[in-house]
Amino acid sequence: MSDHRREGLILAIAVGVVGVTFGVLADAAGLSLPQVIVMSTLVFTGASQFAAVSVIDSGGSGAAAVGSALLLAARNALYGPVVARLLPGRWVPRAAAAHFVIDETTAMAAVQDSDEDARDAFWWTALWLWSLWNLGSIGGALLGAVIGEPETWGLDAAFPAAFLALLAPHVRERPGQVAALLGAGIAIALTPIAPAGVPLLVASLAVVPGWLVGRREGSATR
């Protein structure tokens, strides 16, 4: 198996375990099995699903659940431009491919050297992730809280660490370093004062100073 397919699978296994916890939480919040399945197959945005179900579980309204979930889902719109050129050109396959544009698939595609590998990494990660996320969700909803707290095994550190590996190629040069440092700084600064999801959206503005640094360096070496 090529490296990126294997890495996609590793990421998907961790996602699958988190899917189990989603199923458990959704079941506890009163969602039926068909509802859990529709969420995981068709919403297919982990953080949003957790946000919606947590709001419902704590007695919040449907509107509050939708609001907090969609704030977290909004960042997927920013991944479109990153992967757009890798996706099928014709309208219908392209619209179908859009369903799989999430953190993990974008990250796996964006670290590849060639478009061919990037496309392969995108689709294999999508396939693994979607399958295991759904299997996990269904398993969690059916089995309930038999697995205990996944935090006990440090699963919550698996994602930031995996993304650190996927970030590395993007911060080899100054523009990427500036964008990454400012993006992280903005996200941390806004976390205490803005609803979840907003810090990530605002952090995307860090691309502008990164770009300006790159432009200045470019004109200096010319």
Contacts with another protein in 148-177 (CB under 8 A)? 151-168, 170-171, 175-177
Select 98 or 142, whichever has its Cβ closest to another protein.
98
H helices of the chain, in order, are 3-28, 33-38, 46-57, 62-73, 76-83, 91-98, 103-110, 115-143, 155-167, 174-190, 198-203, 207-221
* Contacts to another protein from residues 48-77, by CB under 8 A: 48-49, 52-53, 56, 62, 65-66, 69-70, 73-77
Nearest approach in angstroms of CB 202 to another protein is 9
The yes or no reply on residue 206 touching another protein (CB under 8 A) is: yes
Cβ–Cβ under 8 Å, residues 136 and 12: no
Q: Which of 17, 67, 74, 20 is nearest to 45 (CA)?
A: 74
The yes or no reply on residue 146 touching another protein (CB under 8 A) is: no
The C-alpha R_g of the chain, in whole angstroms, comes to 18
Cβ–Cβ under 8 Å, residues 143 and 26: no
- In the block, tokens 């990530």 appear at 200
Select 25 or 139, whichever has its Cβ closest to another protein.
25
Cβ atoms within 10 Å, residue 140: 27
Site string for another protein, 77-116 (x = CB under 8 A): xxxxxxxxx-x-x----xx-xxx-xxx--xx--x------
The yes or no reply on residue 187 touching another protein (CB under 8 A) is: yes
The yes or no reply on residue 127 touching another protein (CB under 8 A) is: no
Query: Hey, what amino acid is at 147?
Result: I
Nearest approach in angstroms of CB 21 to another protein is 15
Select 43 or 127, whichever has its Cβ closest to another protein.
43
Site string for another protein, 22-51 (x = CB under 8 A): -------xxx---x--xx--xxxx--xx--
- 3-class secondary structure, 208: helix
Q: In the chain, what is the straight-line distance between the N-terminal and C-terminal CA atoms, in Å?
A: 43
Nearest approach in angstroms of CB 146 to another protein is 19
Nearest approach in angstroms of CB 197 to another protein is 10
